[in-house]
Amino acid sequence: MSIRENLEAIRAEIDAAARETGRTGADITLVGASKMNDAAACQEAIAAGIDALGENRVQEMTAKLAEDAYRGAPLHFIGHLQRNKVKQVVGKAVLIHSVDSLHLAEKIEQEAAKRDLTADILLEVNVAREESKFGLMLEEVIPLLEEVKNLPHVRVRGLMTIAPNVENPEENRKHFKKLYQLYVDIKNKNIDNGTVSILSMGMTNDFEVAIEEGATMVRIGTAIFGERNYAHQI
């Protein structure tokens, strides 16, 4: 199947899952995780109506920017971001999904201030407490949010998680429920000054469950672009 056909199938599945929660597919932002897919594939996804493209690695993102890979769609940075590479991402990505420390937020603030812009970010949460994953523990999120909201050039737009890689997506429902509850608590208590509106959770294997549990944004790669060829990574 082509990228367009894959995208149409995913859109239908997103819409069906969203309707379980009284929403529609139009309420869910679909980010195409374009890691290890070339500029032509990115442009094919954009032509087929992808909402945004998300890159995991700064080096690959920079190379594809030079090829005009993202023309026509917003670019998100969805991978782990090292502080020494922040300057390559701020001003390029409209949303950084993976902020998990005050030090990283302060570096983003510094680079955004230099460019006289506001950097939109998500706080990454390691809901399942996996040792192999980056991210904040649930109890660390609100204290960090209280700190970051004082940075004038950084705006917290929501929360993100990468759930465990499981065969049965139902196993991740409990993790999505926990993050959704925290998301609602933040909004109800207005801890965020009203800026939090994004809950980025769910990938190819579990996005339907994530949407049923309140995701507003999903990050899907393989189901759109096909299996990645790791032999050709940049």
201 and 14 in contact (C-beta within 8 Å)?
no
pLDDT by 10-residue block (mean), the chain, 234 residues:
95 98 98 96 97 97 98 98 97 98 98 98 97 95 95 97 95 98 94 90 97 98 83 50
Contacts of 45 (CB under 8 A, 6+ apart): 3, 7, 32, 34, 53, 73, 224, 225
- Per the document, the length of the chain is 234
User: CA 111 to CA 146: how far, in whole Å?
Assistant: 20
**Main-chain dihedrals φ then ψ at residue 138, nearest 5 degrees:** -55, -40
pLDDT value of residue 229 = 61
Beta strands in the chain (DSSP E): 29-33, 52-55, 75-77, 95-99, 119-124, 154-160, 198-200, 217-220
Residue with tokens 């859109």: 11
For residue 105, the surrounding DSSP H or E stretch is helix 102-115
Closest CA to 28 of 159, 161, 214, 179: 214
Q: pTM score, two decimals?
A: 0.95
Angle at 180 between CA 214 and CA 144, to 5 degrees: 135
pLDDT value of residue 228 = 66
pLDDT value of residue 230 = 53
User: CA 207 to CA 160: how far, in whole Å?
Assistant: 13
User: CA 171 to CA 206: how far, in whole Å?
Assistant: 9
Residue with tokens 């917290």: 156
